[in-house]
Amino acid sequence: MNTLTDRLRPLTGHRLFWPALVLVVMILANTVYRPGFLAVEVKSGHLYGTPIDILRLSAPLILVALGMTLVIATGGIDLSVGSLCAISGAIACLHISEAADPNSPSTVLTALALAFGVALVLGAWNGVLVAVIGIQPIIATLILMVAGRGIAQLVTEGQIITINSEPYRAIGLGHFLTLPLAILIALAAALLVAAFTRRTALGLIVESVGGNAEASRLAGIRSRRIVFLVYVVSAACAAIAGFMVTANVSSADGNAAGLWIELDAILAVVIGGTSLAGGRFSLSGTVLGALIIQTLTTTVYAMNISPQTSLLFKAVVVIAVCLVQAPAFRARFRRRRRGVEPGPATPQREKEQVPA
Amino acid sequence: MRTRSTARTVIAVLTGVLLAGGMVACGNSDTGGDSGSGGSDKLVLGFSQVGAESGWRTANTTSIKEAAGQAGIELKFDDAQQKQENQIKAIRNFIQQKVDVIAFSPVVESGWDTVLKEAKDAKIPVILTDRAVDSADKSLYKTFLGSDFVKEGRLAGEWLVEQKKAATGPVNIVELQGTTGSAPANDRKKGFGEAIAANPNLKIVASQSGDFTRAGGKQVMEQFLKANPKIDVLFAHNDDMGLGALEAITAAGKVPGKDITIITVDAVKDGMQALADGKFNFIAECSPLLGPQLMDLAKKVKAGEEVPPRIETEETTFTQETAKEALPNRKY
């Protein structure tokens, strides 16, 4: 027994072990409920199945959560990402709907550039409020969270703009190498951010600013510039997520697009093991967190859990995830069950009670 | 230091402008024009709208705004953005501003007693539009003007029973519900369920909330299609969820309107287009154009006249053939 425990220790000690285990348990529970859950087939030239749906639908959340990870690593928070999704989607769809030829690539590219530009300006606005003026991040970004919905509705004039543009649709529903284009874009963004932060000193600088902004400044880091930058990056990620959300249904809904995605993104970051206090961050953890959240949503539909209880179900799972991840909770659990193997069996038991 | 303080001033002004812009966009501001409502003796109507979640809702808002203008009523319009707390706040604001009549479309059915009592104590008559509340005390509001959602669900169900009366085997139905807890979701589900009970072959195999949005309808339908190999009928509580589901059905390699019979409620323009194109099979109308009726009622309750406690908006149903005729004249 002891040797097994010792052998498992490096694995269970890994930062991403517990979130990954939760994801596996969730998929297992689904497979037990419906054996075809993981089935993937080829339909009209690309892969089709529930796992593919989860990947495609989690793409916007992964993007938003990536930006959020950097913001949170500096000790901040960005509540405006949901509204930014709505604004960027609305501007892009409006431009396409008013264009003479909605299917021409140049129209779509102009629309994307226009919306992306506006999002960068709004991200810079957040950055200035936080880094230059020194307003608390939660307040500074709350301004755009509330006002941004209004801006999005102003752009769409309160209507749902329906568009008919194949190139734009591809952002949300297209396929490349039989995989959804959306998830490839999200993963490319994740790799890009990872390369910038982990292959250069940038990540370390972000972490040091989050750990102690003043000490970093005294050590020669331009803290403000870094803080400003992460809000712009977060806005850029939100803009692309907004394109995906609107392209998925070929329509821009100023009211519903990206609604509450900021909360899901914060949750994804936390599940991924990044502390809300700032400092160390984990990009792979965030991606995993986003996948967990989307899998949870899909589970509700796949298991046909009644809408009245689905919120409670989600809450219970999220609480379970956060608990198994907390070292203090695990330590307490282990002490109580001294002599019993503290392997992965414990959280699994806990999780399996949930669907019932 | 000096440039710093200038920068602060500029940013403070910009923040103000941005916030103000947001407020106008949210529709919180008065559309009546003159802010001094005490000056004129126009009837003042405070109206709190659910939000702008669909084309239907926007047509409803437009109808109310236009009818107010034509009837010479000063309208104070508020958009609650799907939140009950916003709506309660708006109603309290209306009470403080001493408007003549309050009208609102409740986001959800329950939890209105306190604020309605406050309106009653302030002697301001309340008219419910489009959605009902479940308050036991019916004296809290004058009347409820709106569609009969149970009837809409029943009409949809009866049409299906008629279509499938020759069916010998089981007919599998999936249902896309509206926002959980909202009156149209509860009532349409109830009416539909009652109607299809006439034929034991008709069975609802899965039912989930798509939140009345296209994205929601699509995401839920994708899973329905994977979890249930044989789906014969889709009943969506509004057109938008049905439109979202269309894409999911096509992606699954099925033909909407043929492989899967699609029934929805509302009859907004995009939905009617889908019906005329043969992608939908039946729509029970839920008309949003209740503005003129609301203005009449507002004048009547202000004058102290008795009004019936329940007034229905005029509605019909559409099949693929009648949709083709009606489509060119569809305003919303």
Least confident span in A284-298, A305-319, B66-80, B109-123:
A305-319
Least confident span in A41-45, A132-136, B8-12, B321-325:
B8-12
Predicted confidence at residue A333, as pLDDT, reads 77
> What distance in Å separates residue A157's CA from the closest CA in chain B?
9
CB B25 within 8 A of CB B209: no
Q: What is the pLDDT of residues A34-60, one digit of tens each?
A: 888 998 988 888 899 999 999 999 999
Give the C-alpha separation, A152 to A82, whole Å: 11
Listed by start position, the domains of chain B span: 37-147+288-314, 149-286
Q: Which residues of A touch B81 (CB under 8 A)?
A: 149, 255
A104 found inside a domain: yes
* B37-147+288-314 classified as CATH 3.40.50.2300: yes
The answer to whether the CB atoms of A133 and B8 lie below 8 A apart is yes
The answer to whether the CB atoms of B81 and A255 lie below 8 A apart is yes
| Interface probe, candidates B28, B109, B214, chain A, greatest A C-beta count within 10 A | B214
> What distance in Å separates residue B66's CA from the closest CA in chain A?
16
- Overall number of domains in chain A: 1
Q: What is the pLDDT of residues A182-235, one digit of tens each?
A: 999 999 999 999 999 999 999 999 999 999 988 999 999 999 999 999 999 999
In B, minimum Cα distance to A157 occurs at B25
Q: Which residues of B touch A249 (CB under 8 A)?
A: 214-215, 218, 244, 247
The radius of gyration computed from the CA coordinates of chain B, to the nearest angstrom, equals 22
CB A235 within 8 A of CB A265: no
Q: Which residues of B touch A298 (CB under 8 A)?
A: 219, 223
At residue B30 the predicted structure's pLDDT band, cuts being 50, 70 and 90, is: very low
Q: Region A59-66: what's the mean pLDDT? A: 97
Q: Is the pLDDT of residue B157 over 90?
A: yes
A46 found inside a domain: no
* Residue B39 CB coordination number (10 Å): 8
Q: What is the pLDDT of residues B111-136, one digit of tens each?
A: 999 999 999 999 999 999 988 888 88
Q: Region A245-265: what's the mean pLDDT? A: 91
Q: Is the pLDDT of residue B299 over 80?
A: yes
Enclosing domain of residue A155: 59-283
Q: Which residues of A touch B58 (CB under 8 A)?
A: 158-159
A225 found inside a domain: yes
Q: Which residues of A touch B215 (CB under 8 A)?
A: 245, 248-249, 253, 256-257
3-state secondary structure string across chain A:
CHHHHHHHHHHHCCCCHHHHHHHHHHHHHHHHHCHHHHCCEEECCEEECHHHHHHHHHHHHHHHHHHHHHHHHCCCCCCCHHHHHHHHHHHHHHHHHHCCCCCCHHHHHHHHHHHHHHHHHHHHHHHHHHHHCCCCHHHHHHHHHHHHHHHHHHHHCCCEEECCCHHHHHHHHCEECCEEHHHHHHHHHHHHHHHHHHCCCHHHHHHHHHHCHHHHHHCCCCHHHHHHHHHHHHHHHHHHHHHHHHHHHCEEECCCCCCCHHHHHHHHHHHCCCCCCCCCCCHHHHHHHHHHHHHHHHHHHHCCCCHHHHHHHHHHHHHHHHHHHCHHHHHHHHHHCCCCCCCCHHHHHHHHCCCC
The answer to whether the CB atoms of A249 and B244 lie below 8 A apart is yes
The answer to whether the CB atoms of A150 and B26 lie below 8 A apart is yes
Predicted confidence at residue B186, as pLDDT, reads 93
Q: Is the pLDDT of residue A309 over 70?
A: yes
The answer to whether the CB atoms of B220 and A301 lie below 8 A apart is yes
Predicted confidence at residue B18, as pLDDT, reads 52
Q: Which residues of A touch B53 (CB under 8 A)?
A: 253, 255-256
> What distance in Å separates residue A167's CA from the closest CA in chain B?
16
Task: Name which residue leads in pLDDT, A117 or B9.
Answer: A117
The answer to whether the CB atoms of B18 and A307 lie below 8 A apart is no
Q: Is the pLDDT of residue B7 over 80?
A: no
In A, minimum Cα distance to B50 occurs at A255
CB A207 within 8 A of CB A223: no
> What distance in Å separates residue A298's CA from the closest CA in chain B?
7
Write the ipTM: 0.84
What is the pLDDT of chain A when averaged over all its residues?
A: 88
Q: What is the pLDDT of residues A315-348, one digit of tens each?
A: 998 888 888 878 788 888 777 665 554 444 444 4
A308 closest CB neighbour out of B26, B27, B180: B180
> What distance in Å separates residue A133's CA from the closest CA in chain B?
7
A227 found inside a domain: yes
> What distance in Å separates residue A329's CA from the closest CA in chain B?
35
Superfamily of domain B149-286 in CATH is Response regulator (3.40.50.2300)
> What distance in Å separates residue B121's CA from the closest CA in chain A?
33
Strand partners, B235: B175, B263
Count of A-B CB contacts under 8 Å: 124
B214 closest CB neighbour out of A128, A251, A298: A251
A308 found inside a domain: no
Q: Which residues of A touch B24 (CB under 8 A)?
A: 150, 154
| Interface probe, candidates A121, A122, A155, A251, chain B, greatest B C-beta count within 10 A | A251
Domains B37-147+288-314 and B149-286 share a fold: yes
In B, minimum Cα distance to A40 occurs at B226
Q: Is the pLDDT of residue B177 over 50?
A: yes
A337 found inside a domain: no
A255 closest CB neighbour out of B52, B61, B208: B52
Predicted confidence at residue B220, as pLDDT, reads 95
